[in-house]
Amino acid sequence: MLSDTNNKRAQFSTKIGVIATAVGSAVGLGNIWRFPYEAGSNGGGAFMLCYIFFIFLLGVPLICAEFIVGRSTRSNEIKAFEKLAPGKKWFLNGYIGVLASILILSFYSVVAGWTLEFFIAAVTGRMPSDMSELHDFFSEFISGNWRPLVWTVVFLLLNYLVVSRGVQKGIERLSNCLMPAMTLLLIAFCVNSLFLPGASEGVGFLFSPDFSKIDSHSLLSAMGQAFFSLSIGLGGMLTYASYFPDEVRLGRCATTTAVLDTFVAILAGVIIFPAVFTYGISPQSGPTLVFETLPAIFMNLPGGAIWAALFFFLLFMASITSTISMSEISIAYFEEEKKLCRKKATALTIGIATVLGAICALSFGPLSDIRFFGMTVFELFDYVSSNVCLPVGGMVTSVFVGWVIDRKIIDRQLNIRTNSLPWVKLLIFILRYIAPAAIALIFLNSLGII
């Protein structure tokens, strides 16, 4: 099926496919790996409440904003801003999106590579079941000179294979099968975690908020996490929406995506924290938290290696449905603006990410002494993209849709014919005033400027 505009642009073929790809982009390592460690480092329950608050107050309206810009222009991010505001500087926001999405793709692929190592370790029976052995296994692995690097490259190559096949065949088909399987497995693990000895402590940590732990830094992290998890701020949802058919109801699709994404993040928290307290792991371990905790859960179950293999396989799949959406941001740009064929555009994107990803992969070992503001390259990429580029991109998009583009375009995209409905008025109010003010306030406050 082809689009209605001038060029023969690809489109997703079914409504279910649209939801599956949007949810596939949103649900990924952000929910299962990043959310638990951010929550663990920022005080647990209070962080989670702020996160959920940002998802619904700012996240849903911002997904709608990206959807509107994407579908009304059916273009890559840079062209989309240019089409809606010709001759103005808004397209610069598109460049931030393209650059930052490659940064995210680089460090994200390192962690996705870890899931492959764990999968193979489980399948080949190399995964230790003893807690301290597991700890050594993992720290030796990530600080190694070549294994993390190899897995990062393998992951990026697999990503290349899917994305280079194109929007419908590669992306849509994969997402349709994997998302339901992932969710079922998560629910099973969640039930299992609730029977662990540390369950009440873990659940208490996640569900009883202690607001004294919240400061401007953790607010910024909660907002960055909400944006990261929903794939907004850099044009991930914008690019996907440029492939949506006209019948898709954008408001409903945005809400469904946000609800399912949040559900998976909470499930991940309920799986991880009981185990963290059962096995005496520090909730503040950072990026390594989930990888040290999960195997401990599996290996103590009957048939542990099978559970571990299944889980890491699905986590890998959840990662790839997200990395294809990150890659698509710059691929669409290289294809349409630089006139490269799809294979070359994909190769260029993946090539840059491989070089940067290699540096990130080694930043837990041989390159761990290279630090900027006390952060390793991996941490720097994560911080700059999630806590700087995502909020800035989100703010610009919100102002753009709220103030700059024609109301008729918004109404048409949201399938409104006559007078605006109350929810559309609320959406525009949030995009005009609330979102820009909230993002600016939190951002400047955490920088110590106000």
Rounded least distance, CB 8 to ligand TRP, Å: 25
* 351: enclosing H helix or E strand: helix 342-361
Contact status, residue 197 vs residue 37, Cβ threshold 8 Å? no
Burial class (CB in 10 A: 0-12, 13-18, 19+), 229: buried
Please, what is the minimum distance in Å from the beta carbon of residue 29 to ligand TRP?
5
Q: Nearest-CA neighbor of 273 among 257, 254, 297?
A: 297
State which of residues 229, 278, 293, 349 lies at the interface with ligand TRP (CB under 6 A): 229
Of 20-28, 128-136, 156-164, 191-199, the segment contacting ligand TRP by CB under 6 A is 20-28
| Binding window for ligand TRP (CB under 6 A); candidates: 14-22, 42-50, 227-235, 353-361 | 227-235
Question: How far apart are the C-alpha atoms of 268 and 262, rounded to whole Å?
Answer: 10
Does position 31 interact with ligand TRP (CB under 6 A)? The reply is yes
* 234 makes contact with ligand TRP (CB under 6 A): yes
Are 299 and 13 contacting, i.e. CB atoms less than 8 angstroms apart?
no
In the block, residue with structure tokens 């299962």:
32
Please state, in angstroms and rounded to a whole number, the distance separating the CA atoms of residues 224 and 42.
Answer: 13
Q: Does 160 bind ligand TRP (CB under 6 A)?
A: no
Q: Does 30 bind ligand TRP (CB under 6 A)?
A: yes
The conformation of residue 169, written as its DSSP 8-state character, comes to I
Q: Which helix (H) or strand (E) holds 118?
A: helix 92-123
For residue 159, state whether it binds ligand TRP (rule: CB under 6 A): no
Specify whether the backbone of 415 is left (phi greater than 0), alpha (psi in -120 to 50) or beta.
Answer: left
CB of 372 vs ligand TRP, minimal distance in Å: 21
How many angstroms separate the Cα of 169 from the Cα of each of 12, 166, 174? 9, 6, 8
Number of residues that bind ligand TRP (CB under 6 A): 16
Question: In angstroms, what is the minimal distance from the CB of 445 to ligand TRP?
Answer: 23
Nearer to ligand TRP, 192 or 387 (CB): 387
> Tokens in use for 156?
């990026």
CA pair distance 282, 47, nearest whole angstrom: 17
Q: Is 29 in the site for ligand TRP (CB under 6 A)?
A: yes
In angstroms, what is the minimal distance from the CB of 329 to ligand TRP? Answer: 7
Q: Which of 70, 198, 202, 236 binds ligand TRP (CB under 6 A)?
A: 236
Q: Is 148 in the site for ligand TRP (CB under 6 A)?
A: no
- Cβ 35 to ligand TRP shortest distance, Å: 8
The closest alpha carbon to 430, from 389, 404, 406, 395, belongs to 395
Q: How far is the CB of 245 from ligand TRP (least distance, A)?
A: 21
| Sign, Cα dihedral of 340, 346, 351, 357 | positive
Q: Which residues contact 104 (CB under 8 A, 6 or more apart)?
A: 228, 234, 326, 381, 385, 386
Name which position in 21, 76, 101, 262 contacts ligand TRP (CB under 6 A): 101
Closer residue to ligand TRP, CB minimum distance, 41 or 325: 325
Site for ligand TRP in 299-328 (CB under 6 A): 322, 325-326
Say whether residue 231 binds ligand TRP (CB under 6 A): yes
241 binds ligand TRP (CB under 6 A): no
Does 22 sit near ligand TRP (CB under 6 A)? no
Tokens of 113: 């590579």
Q: CA nearest 186: which of 258, 265, 256?
A: 265
Which residue of 51, 67, 228, 311 would you call a contact of ligand TRP, by CB under 6 A? 228
107 binds ligand TRP (CB under 6 A): no
Q: Give whichever of 62 and 305 is closer to ligand TRP, judged by the CB atom.
A: 62
The footprint of ligand TRP (CB under 6 A) covers 25-26, 28-31, 101, 104, 228-229, 231, 234, 236, 322, 325-326
